[in-house]
Amino acid sequence: MERIELSPDDLSLIKEAEKIINQHYLEDWHHIAVACRGKSGKVYVSVNMDTYVGSMAVCAEPIAMGQAVLEGDVPFTTIVAVRKPRPSQDDQNMKVVSPCGKCREMIADYAPFSEVILNEEGELFKTPIQNILPYKYMSNKSKTERHK
């Protein structure tokens, strides 16, 4: 997999996500934050939204991406998710986490040439979304100019 070294802007994006989850962490409700950089350079942030009915929970990625879409700031260029540990966990360091499969699909739909910041055994790097979602399903809808 292609590993691209993080730029100062990428490190700043991680800090934005960490800042948001520190401000809005609520055990069992909000433990993931996302920062997404739009094509303009503006950063969109969000937290996940857990629910009592698990199937209704929403990941943080679609919320941040939706903000970029609303402002016409797509395709976005880079996205990162961070997880804040529960207070009962021994390791209280926040960690960059990979997007789930559904979020990978959505990232690839709305920004097929974007890069995702990942963490592999403590090594942070970014990679094109295609590297973590090979052989993506594409329909005729994917061929429109909407999100290019």
Write phi, then psi, for 38 (nearest 5 degrees): -75, 170
On average, the pLDDT of the chain sits at 93
Domain-located, residue 3: no
How confident is the model over 116-145, as a mean pLDDT?
86
Interatomic CA distance for residues 101 and 105, integer angstroms: 6
Q: How far is CA 24 from CA 34, 72, 95, 120, 123, in A?
A: 12, 26, 16, 26, 26
pLDDT at position 141, please? 62
Can you give the pLDDT at residue 76?
A: 94
Q: Which residues lie below 8 Å from residue 58, measured CB to CB, with a gap of 6+?
A: 48, 49
Q: Which of 5, 16, 18, 61 is labelled catalytic?
A: 61
Structurally, the chain folds into a number of domains equal to 1
Q: Distance from first CA to last CA of the chain, Å, rounded?
A: 24
144 pLDDT more than 50: no
pLDDT at 140 over 80: no
Give the position of tokens 């290019």: 148
Stretch 111-137: mean pLDDT: 95
Q: Quickly list DSSP for 95-130.
A: EEEPPPHHHHHHHHHH-TT-EEEEEETTEEEEEEHH
| 52 belongs to a structural domain | yes
DSSP annotation of 136:
-
Query: 27-41, 115-129, 132-146: which range is least confident on average?
Result: 132-146
Instruction: Enter the pTM of the model.
Output: 0.91
pLDDT in tens, 87-122: 999 999 999 999 999 999 999 999 999 999 999 999
In a domain, 138, yes or no: no
**2 located within any domain:** no
Is position 61 annotated as part of the catalytic site? yes
Q: In the Cβ-directed half-sphere of 130, how many Cα atoms lie within 13 Å?
A: 5
93: domain CATH number is: 3.40.140.10
In a domain, 148, yes or no: no
Range of the domain at 35: 8-132
